[in-house]
Structure 1
């Protein structure tokens, strides 16, 4: 699903509701080679034009399969998070009207591609520590070799 900023500005005076299933797997895998697979993402929310610009508020749910950071075995990682972002044209350089805590996405050519938005947010929410259930429960020996051994902090 793609929209130009001008389309969104015309159509989002009232909340423009979104309830879509977005397949962003190819984008996610192209940007992060460690990702084994990504389920289609359920995206629910809305876009709205306010005094600052086009505001997106939605929830993303998907399952990503990543290698364990310990054994490299595949691990299903369910993701479920909210997104609150403003969208502006990349040519706009004065962003002083936004708070430091606002997430502002500058869109190349003024085009909002929902698959790209979903992919970028999935990538941001990937955990840095991924363990299988056995590894999490301590039922998996830590790797070791000649003159070295993996130790956990704490």
Structure 2
């Protein structure tokens, strides 16, 4: 969905309501090679037109399939995102004098493209670490010849055990025991 800023002037008194189902799977796969599949994206929201900006608020729901970061098994992630974005034209941006804490997107042309916003927000919502349900349980960690993945708790426990069993420190601990007596 695309809207021209000239077309949007009709909606200064009341916001523009929209609802659409978008197919952005191929485009997202080109932008991120890790993405295996994207279900059609359902988008519903409003676009409010002000004198100084265009405020876009929408909710998107979809399912994204990405590989597990541990085993590369496909993992389906359901996304349900609420998005708020503020757009300004070049002219509106140059007239702005107040400091805003929100991030403002300055339009390169006089068109607001919902597809770009949807794609960007889906990519931002994909976490760096994606695990299958079995991997989240932590029971079947991968291992091979002379290597093994361990949980952080196991690592810390082994580290403490190694420090307490270090023969070089055993004589030092005896020294402290003699001093305490």
Same fold per TM (> 0.5)? Answer: yes
CA distance in 2, matches of 1:16, 1:103: 22
Task: State how many pairs are aligned.
Answer: 152
SS of the equivalent of 1:151 reads coil
- What is the TM-score normalised by the length of structure 1? 0.86
- Alpha-carbon displacement from aligned partner over 1:68-111 (angstroms, at most 9, x marks no partner): 010000000000010010112357653554522x1322222222
Residue 151 of structure 1 deviates from its aligned partner by 3.2
Question: What's the C-alpha RMSD, in Å, of the aligned pairs?
Answer: 2.0
Unmatched 5+ stretches in structure 1? none
- What is the TM-score normalised by the length of structure 2? 0.75
Instruction: Report if aligned partners of 2:20, 2:42 keep a CA contact under 8 Å in 1.
Output: yes
Q: 5 Å matches for 1:136-147?
A: 136-146=136-146
Does 1:69 pair with 2:101?
no
Rg larger for: 2
CA distance in 2, matches of 1:153, 1:90: 50
- Alpha-carbon displacement from aligned partner over 1:120-141 (angstroms, at most 9, x marks no partner): 1111111121111111112322
Q: 5 Å matches for 1:106-145?
A: 106-145=106-145
**Which of the pair has the greater relative contact order for Cα pairs under 8 Å at 6+ separation?**
1
Instruction: Report if aligned partners of 1:52, 1:98 keep a CA contact under 8 Å in 2.
Output: no
CA distance in 1, matches of 2:122, 2:76: 14
- Other-structure match for 1:16: 16
